[in-house]
Amino acid sequence: MTQFDAKVLDAFLEQQEKLFPEIVAETREEADDFLGECMAVVVESKQEVWDYFEEEGVDIAGMDEDDILEADEVFDIGDGRYLIVEC
């Protein structure tokens, strides 16, 4: 059963090389499986990305919103949502 919608999966497939040195998924099904194993999350806004990092105890001191959104593990889905992948 798919955990992530097509837009999320496509965004990951297109951008995965910013986080991983090699392709980890080639199809939506592979991407869905991989993201499920990584416990990836989709958040609804830039603020929720910030909140997620704070809640997870990630050191974000000195970072601004742009720095966080450019982090390798943050993928812009293109519709205001963001995928966060921490493997």
Over the stretch 24-53, which tens digit does the pLDDT of each residue have? 999 999 999 999 999 999 999 999 999 999
- Residue-wise DSSP of 3-60: SS-HHHHHHHHHHGGGTSSS---SSHHHHHHHHHHHT-EEESSHHHHHHHHHHTT---
Is 75 a residue whose pLDDT tops 90?
Answer: yes
pLDDT band at 1 (very low <50, low <70, confident <90, very high): low
pTM tops 0.85, yes or no: yes
HSE-CB for 6 with a 13 A CA cutoff: 0
Length of the chain: 87
pLDDT band at 7 (very low <50, low <70, confident <90, very high): very high
User: What are the boundaries of each domain within the chain?
Assistant: 6-84
